[in-house]
Structures are given as structure tokens and as C-alpha cells.
Amino acid sequence: MREAIEDFAARHAIPDPREAAELWYAREYRPLIGHLRSLRLHRSFPGARSADVLVQLLDHRRAEAARQGRELSWDEALRSFAATPRTANAAG
């Protein structure tokens, strides 16, 4: 998640790491966790915490961006992530 916060800080020109983390938590983390829960994606990761599932989403978004050669919006990443089949040990 550190990389996500650093990316957020760079995009918004926030030099203070603590301020960047607080804003990232409010503007990205909490809404994303809400979306993950509303899509019931946590059910695909038995025993995983919401933050663990978010790390999986961050990894998925990064991999898809590399594969497609462009940045993905969070909505695109969530749709793609939700459509990706999961294995029994996807969380660990």
C-alpha cells in the first residue's frame, strides 16, 4: 500500500507523507473498500481482511496497466478484478 500512497502523493503534489497517507485513506482507501464490499469480493478471499483484498486489487490494477500499456481507472480495475476467476488460495 505504500506504493499506492506514494503514487497518490505524487499525483496530488503532496510533499508530506503523513498528509498524503491521511488523504489517500479518506479519498481512495475507504471508497475502494466500500466498493469491494458492495461487490462482495471479500467472499472470494476467505479469511482475508479488507486490506488484504485491496492489496490484491492494487496488484491486479498494476498488472493490467502493464498488460494494456495504460493506466486503469479504479472503476476499470474493480470491474476487471471482479471478473477475474479466483482460486481457493488466492489470498495467500
Q: Is the pLDDT of residue 90 over 60?
A: no
Closest by alpha carbon to 3, among 21, 18, 19?
21
Q: At what angle do helices 17-24 and 2-11 cross, to 10 degrees?
A: 100
- In three-state form (DSSP H/G/I as H, E/B as E, the rest C), the secondary structure along the chain is CHHHHHHHHHHCCCCCHHHHHHHHHHHHHHHHHHHHHHCCHHHHCCCCCHHHHHHHHHHHHHHHHHHHCCCCCHHHHHHHHHHCCCCCCCCC
pLDDT digits 0-9 by tens, 52-80: 999 999 999 999 999 999 999 999 999 99
Cβ(24)–Cβ(5) below 8 Å: yes
User: Over 70: is that where the pLDDT of 91 sits?
Assistant: no
pLDDT score of 92 more than 50: no
Q: Is the full-model pTM beyond 0.85?
A: no
Extents of the domains making up the chain: 2-83
- Residue 4 grid cell: 499506492
**d(C-alpha 19, C-alpha 34), whole Å:** 22
